[in-house]
Structure 1
C-alpha cells in the first residue's frame, strides 16, 4: 500500500495525488500539516527531517519532496511511455520543463502571490510587492504560452510529468481574485487540464480553509 502524508489543501500534496491518479495507483492519504498538525512528532521527523508534506511511504521506502516523489512514482510504476519516457534523451525535455515549473513557476506563484493574496490579511499585505509578483508571473506564463503555441501539452501532443508540475498551480492562479494579463493559450491549456478526472479530483480543491481573516 502506498501512503501519502499530507493535507488535501496542500498544493504540493495535490501534485503527488494527481500523479498517483494519472498512473492508476491506489493510495491512502493521511491528513498532516496546517490545522491537522502531526509534523512535530518524532515519527514524522524520522520520515522527513524537514518536517514538511508531502511524504510518500512505499513499503519500507520513504520519499519526500513532491517532484522527487513524482519522479520515483513515474520511474517505478510508469510504463516508460510519454508521461516519463524510459529513454534518457526522450525524458530530458520532460524533466527540464518539470524542473522549470518547480523552480520558476512554483517559486514565482506560491509565496509571492498565493500567500499574500489568500493567506495574509489585506491590512498586512504588501500590495506593491504583490503587484510586482503578478507582473513577473504573467511573464513566466507568456513563456509557457510560447511553448504551448503549437501543441496541446508542454512537451508535445502527449500529457507528461511536466504538465503535472506546471498545471497543478493553474487552478489557484485562475481562481484567486487578482488581475491577470490576457493569455488565451494558457487559459485553453488550463481548460484542457480541468477535463481530466484526476485534476478535478485532486487539484480543484477549495482552499477557503487557508484564507486568512480579512484577506
Structure 2
C-alpha cells in the first residue's frame, strides 16, 4: 500500500491526499513534520534529505516533492486520465501551471498564511505581509482570467493543475484579508469545495 509521510495540515500533503481520494488510491498516512517531528530523524533523512513533507513510499520506491508525487501517482494509477492529459500540448499546459504554482504563487501565499496562522502576532511583519498579499492578488488575477474561459484551470475537467492550486485558493478565501472581486475564481473555488476529496482534506480549518 502507498505510504504517505506528512502531517495533514501541510498544504503539500493536502495535494497528495486529495489526489488519492480523486483516484481512489488506498494509502496509509504517517504523521511527520511540524509538531510531529520525525523529519530530521536519520531514517527519514535517508528517504528525504530535505527534511520536508510529503514523502511517499510505493513498493520500495521513494519520492519527495509534492508536484512530482502528483505526476507519479497520476501516471501509475490513472494512465491516460484527463487528470494528467496524455496529449503533449495539454500535458505541458497542465504542468506549466503546476510549475508556476511552485515558482510564483507559493512564496507570497506562504507569507500571508504564516502571518495570520503560524506566527505569533507580536512577531508579524505587516509590511512584508501587505506586499505579499498584493503579489498574490496579482497572481490570482491571472488565474481568474484563465477561469473566465474554463470551468477548471486547464479546461472542462479537473487536472493536476487544480490540485496543485487547491490548498492555496482555500487559504486565499479563508484568511482575513482584503480581496478584490474575482467572480470566476470564486466560482471555481465553489466547484472545488463540492468535490468530496477537497472538502475532506483541503477545505478544512487552517492550522
Shorter-chain TM-score tier: over 0.9
Where do 4+ consecutive residues of structure 1 move more than 6 Å? none
Aligned match of 2:186: 187
**Deviation, structure 1 residue 37:** 1.0
Q: Extract unaligned runs of 5+ from structure 2.
A: none
Cα deviation 1:95-136 (Å, max 9, x = unaligned): 1111112221222201x2111221112211111111111111
Q: What are the Cα deviations for residues 123-181 of structure 1, in whole angstroms up to 9, with x where unaligned?
A: 11111111111111111011111111121001111111100011221112211111222
Partner of 1:95: 95
Query: Equivalent residue of 1:198, what SS?
Result: helix
Residue number in structure 2 paired with 1:213: none
- Structure 1 gap ranges (5+): 211-215
2-side partners of 1:87 and 1:150: how far apart?
Answer: 20
Which residue does the alignment assign to 1:39?
39
RMSD: 1.2
Deviation (angstroms), 1:205: 2.6
Number of the residue aligned with 2:24: 24
- 1:122 paired with 2:133, answer no
SS of match in other structure, 1:68: helix
Count residues with an aligned counterpart. Answer: 207
Q: Which residue does 1:49 correspond to in 2? A: 49
For the Cα contact (< 8 Å) 2:3–2:28, is it kept in 1?
A: yes
Alpha-carbon distance between aligned partners in 2 of 1:16 and 1:173, rounded to the nearest angstrom: 20
Q: How does 1:49-68 map to 2 (within 5 A)?
A: 49-68=49-68
Render the CA deviation track for 1:28-68: whole Å, top value 9, x for unaligned.
Answer: 00111111111121110111011111001001100001001
CA displacement, residues 55-98 of structure 1 (integer Å, 9 cap, x when unaligned): 01001100001001011111111131221122323311111111
Alignment match, 1:197: 196
